[in-house]
Amino acid sequence: MNKMSLNLSSWEMNNLEEYDDYEDLTKKLPEIVVRVLLSRGITKESLDEFLNPRLSRHLPSPFNLKDMEKGALRLAKAISDKEKIFIFGDYDVDGATSSGVLGLFLRYFGIDYEVKIPERDEGYGPNTEMLPEIKDKGYSLVFTVDCGTTSFEMLDKSKELGLDVIIADHHQVAPTFPQSYAFINPKRLDEPANNPYYNMAAVGVVFLLVIATNTKLREMGFYNENLKEPDVRHLLELVALGTICDMVSLTGINRTLVKHGLNYFGSNIGLKELSKNLIKNEIRSYHMGFILGPRINAAGRVGVSSLGFRLLNSKTEEEASKIVEELESLNSLRRDIEAEVLEEAVKEIEKTIKPEDKVILVGSKNWHQGVIGIVAGKLRERYGLTTLVMSYGDDGIAKGSGRANESIDLGFAITKASEIGIVEKGGGHLKAAGFSVAFEKIPELKAFLEEIISKDEVEIQKTIGIDAVLDISAVNVELADALSALEPYGEGNSEPLFLIKQVVLHYFNIYKESLMVASLKDMAGNRINAKLFKQSNYNLFEELQKMKGSLIDVVGYVKASEYKGKRNVEFMLVDVKI
């Protein structure tokens, strides 16, 4: 099992959690599902929450978060008094959905509100220069959603102008405490380290604020026969979309929110229009993460950043349809730009990478800021190293985006680099971060990140955790259906990976130079169709073409598909050993 694979990874069987009532459990669930559950560390105590998460039972009180009480009371008062509210959002999907959830909640009450999503060239976070105009227009309450945690200059100016600011964010926190009316962030340094909200996306934090505000309005006696209490569960599909696309862990609270959000899919006019010609079957986390999300993200990457928010807040199908056309066009443009930048980045890395490198930093003045994050992710997958990709500006400042492997908490590292003056500004999450750095500081940034990884003495070699061993004869539609109980899949709850031993790559075809469709055959003559996309696994795609007729072990996941009304099953290849 320790022999290196074609993808330069080691394979390990996931340990099975001990379970006293194993036999009883296998009477309720297929045994393969039970094995996967135990390999994921699901205990007897957590089984019900994992399989059947309930909002009423498994969603902790929003008021456990610090400043939630204060923020909810302030928003409830603003709604009751019909104050004008201004919202600063972010240009990714989490930012669009966070702004969308708050905006739709305010719209229900007829509140006069405005949303500002910055363009890429304006930079991340709220715009300090806009504050006097916001004040002059009569806005009294300002929200920063999916941003604001480190916007100290903006917060000082707001205080000077007499504007109340409520931060609803989830980004890494600096030691300096932001001076806002309310600071709601599960990563606050004074929150318990093991608090259940810690891994929430910003849209989840905003949704909790909506629930808390609804509670305060109810306590105030605000609702009556003429104004019924809104059913905020219809906002959950936006919560699911933002949570999945921000790649936070789909466990605990996030799993509960996403699972219910998928069940409520279809009530948002914009999302319904976007998915109309893209999703033909039941909505799954895959559709949100890889089909809907990239199209909304395209607006913030290569177009007008506010398009994503405007789609989610569309009032009519006609309005949504026009925005969908723009997003499709922008997404096509984004793919073309991304492919060009990726190709150039690979050429540059191949010329400069050294065996001892623990971090890759690569950049160009010709690379579009909107795609460098995606490119960083693909380079990380290709080289197995934490990767930062930068777009060089004419002002001597490079704006960058990074994606990390298990060797480093990149958001924390970039925040620390900002504190000690290596980067101009920056922050992020465990596996992703954004930053601005002066050209002359780039070597220092690389050395700083390499030192962190060396200190932690983390083994950077990729390891693939396998949930169970299968025979080809066991891979069928029934198995795929049984495994669906484990959804939604995403960060922290990836699709189950299975090992099939001693099979022959019987034949394969390559389509459009990017998709391999193959047939695998075992010693008994059983066969299964397999697929591999070049984009998701470049090294394996190239090497596997040399293996026709060879006896191999394969790792992958089981996926059901439908063609002309007939359901089939495919084995999606992840790695191979000879």
Lowest mean pLDDT across 35-39, 332-336, 451-455, 519-523: 451-455
d(CA 146, CA 305): 14
Q: What is the pLDDT of residue 457?
A: 44
3 state SS of 349: helix
Report which of residues 22 and 397 the model is more confident about: 397
Query: Which domains does the chain show, CATH number per domain?
Result: 9-40+467-577 (2.40.50.460), 63-329 (3.90.1640.30), 353-461 (3.10.310.30)
Report which of residues 20 and 9 the model is more confident about: 9
**Would the pLDDT of 578 be above 60?**
yes
397-to-392, 393, 423 alpha-carbon distances in Å: 6, 5, 10
d(CA 150, CA 268): 32
What band does 17 get if pLDDT is binned at 50, 70 and 90?
Answer: low
**Would the pLDDT of 460 be above 60?**
no
3 state SS of 475: coil
What band does 534 get if pLDDT is binned at 50, 70 and 90?
Answer: confident
Identify the burial level of 277 via C-beta atoms within 10 angstroms of its C-beta, where 0-12 means exposed, 13-18 middle and 19 or more buried: exposed
Residues of the chain above pLDDT 70, percent: 95
pLDDT digits (tens, 9 = 90+) for 69-118: 999 999 999 999 999 999 999 989 999 999 999 999 999 999 999 999 98
Q: What is the pLDDT of residue 22?
A: 66
Global pTM value: 0.86
Question: Of 474, 558, 431, 494, whose CA–CA distance to 40 is shortest?
Answer: 494
What band does 536 get if pLDDT is binned at 50, 70 and 90?
Answer: low
Q: Torsion over CA of 480, 485, 491 and 494, rounded to 10 degrees?
A: -30
d(CA 510, CA 530): 12
**Would the pLDDT of 149 be above 80?**
yes
d(CA 124, CA 91): 8
Residues of the chain above pLDDT 90, percent: 66
3 state SS of 13: strand
3 state SS of 553: strand
Q: What is the pLDDT of residue 535?
A: 62
**Range among 2-16, 197-211, 472-486 with highest mean pLDDT value:** 197-211
d(CA 48, CA 259): 14
Side chain identity, residue 296: I
The CA angle 387-392-398, to the nearest 5 degrees, is 65
d(CA 328, CA 555): 34
d(CA 457, CA 437): 26
Concatenate the DSSP letters of all residues of 173-214 into one string.
--SSPP--SEEE-TT-TTS-TT-TTTT--HHHHHHHHHHHHH
Please give the average per-residue pLDDT across 537-545, as a whole number. 73
Helix 202-219 × helix 93-108 angle, to 10°: 20
Q: Torsion over CA of 350, 353, 355 and 360, rounded to 10 degrees?
A: -120
Please give the average per-residue pLDDT across 494-516, as a whole number. 88
What band does 147 get if pLDDT is binned at 50, 70 and 90?
Answer: very high
Q: What is the pLDDT of residue 458?
A: 43
**Would the pLDDT of 367 be above 60?**
yes
d(CA 70, CA 156): 19
**DSSP label at residue 245:** H
Cβ proximity of 33 and 485 under 8 Å? yes
Please give the average per-residue pLDDT across 510-518, as a whole number. 83
**Would the pLDDT of 358 be above 70?**
yes
Concatenate the DSSP letters of all residues of 411-458 into one string.
HHHHHHHHHTTSSSEEEE-SSEEEEEEEGGGHHHHHHHHHHHHHHHT-
**Would the pLDDT of 11 be above 70?**
yes
**Would the pLDDT of 565 be above 80?**
no
pLDDT digits (tens, 9 = 90+) for 377-406: 999 888 888 999 999 999 999 999 999 876
pLDDT digits (tens, 9 = 90+) for 152-204: 999 999 999 999 999 999 998 888 889 999 999 999 999 998 899 999 999 99
